[in-house]
Amino acid sequence: MTVKQLSSSGQFNILCMPEPEREIDGVYIGDLLSWVMGKAEADNVWITIMSNINVIAVASLSDVSCVLLAEDVTLESDVLNTAKEKGINILSTPLSAYEAALKVSGMI
Amino acid sequence: MSEVLNFHFHVDGDDFTSAGQASIQIKKNLRRLGLDPEIIRRVSIAMYEGEINMVIHAHGGEADVNVYEDFIEIILKDTGPGIENIEKAMQEGFSTAADQIRSLGFGAGMGLPNMRRYTDDMKIESTVGVGTTVTMRVNL
Ligand SMILES: Nc1ncnc2c1ncn2[C@@H]1O[C@H](COP(=O)(O)OP(=O)(O)OP(=O)(O)O)[C@@H](O)[C@H]1O
Ligand SMILES: [Mg+2]
């Protein structure tokens, strides 16, 4: 499944999607950035409630296919702009991380 | 070992918004060289952890990446406070990061362990009050 397909499921809001064709292969949930860098795998959907600028760098370096902000977490506009520039897909959802992971898992 | 390609970066201390710029730039450069994506991922994550450590713990520093024919070397050099007990610092979960840093998602004490995990060789030289130099190597 691609990020575009995930985003068109109606479950998730698109905050930005500069790389819609990125493939999704698994999920990683975490808010501690070094844990994410140590454990998330390339092409994972990264579900988090962190929203500061460093999230964009971590997403980029970890090669995750998409950041999914749980619990209706929002992004400052400068963070969003950086995400667009760096080619990082960002979706959001009112669901909890657990519920969001179940939804993604049911679709891959 | 013929040509060596060097990339040098000054890493600004105390600037969180631009922290990671050097690592992201390195990722681009290595992509342009056509290296294997998993190698690039390991190099850039290890470098980012080191870069962030210099920003959080050492007021910034200098980063060098040397690309040799069969390995990549990352050297991160700072003149920060130094690491008192390197063995302890290398343990998963050990961190002296302040609360404000933790609220950003850092300070899990996983940076140095990640740097070791993602590289084939890692050396820390540190003197309290003088600074820290971390040298990492990823084989190609
Ligand atoms: N360049 C450095 N200068 C001084 N101290 C350092 C440096 N790098 C690491 N340290 C010390 O080693 C500890 C462990 O570093 P490590 O990167 O593993 O964890 P952290 O930076 O605290 O948290 P995380 O990396 O998970 O965000 C730090 O908390 C700090 O005390
Ligand atoms: Mg660290």
Strand ranges across the sheet with A90-92 = A13-16, A90-92, A66-69, A45-48, A27-29
Chain B interface, best mutation among A39, A61, A62, A63, by max B CB count within 10 A: A61
CATH code, domain carrying B23: 3.30.565.10
pLDDT band at B73 (very low <50, low <70, confident <90, very high): very high
This prediction's pTM? 0.95
Q: Identify the domain containing residue B52 by its residue range.
A: 5-139
Q: With a cut of 70, list the residues of chain A below it in pLDDT.
A: none
DSSP B2-32: ---EEEEEEEETT-TTTTTHHHHHHHHHHHH
The pLDDT score that the predictor gives to residue B15 is 77
Query: Any idea what the CATH number is for the domain that residue A80 is in?
Result: 3.40.1390.20
Domain that includes residue A76, residue range: 3-107
Q: Which residues of B fall below an 8 Å CB-CB distance to A?
A: 16-17, 19-20, 23-24, 27, 37-38, 41, 44-45, 48-49, 52, 104-111, 113-114, 117
pLDDT band at B35 (very low <50, low <70, confident <90, very high): very high
* ipTM given for this complex: 0.91
- Kindly identify which residue of chain A lies nearest to residue B44, measuring between CA atoms: A61
The mean pLDDT of B30-52, rounded to a whole number, is 97
> What tens digit of pLDDT does each residue of B14-25 get?
777 778 999 999
Percentage of residues in chain B with pLDDT exceeding 90? 91
Domain count, chain B: 1
Ligand 1 and B107: CB distance under 6 A: yes
**pLDDT given for residue A28 in this prediction:** 98
Whether pLDDT at B13 is above 60? yes
Residue B54 Cα to ligand 2 midpoint, Å, equals 8
- How confident is the model at residue B126, as a pLDDT? 98
Q: Is A19 helix (H, G, I), strand (E, B) or coil?
A: coil
pLDDT band at B2 (very low <50, low <70, confident <90, very high): low
The predicted structure's pLDDT at residue B109: 97
Q: How many domains does chain A have?
A: 1
In total, the C-beta contacts within 8 angstroms joining chain A to chain B are 67
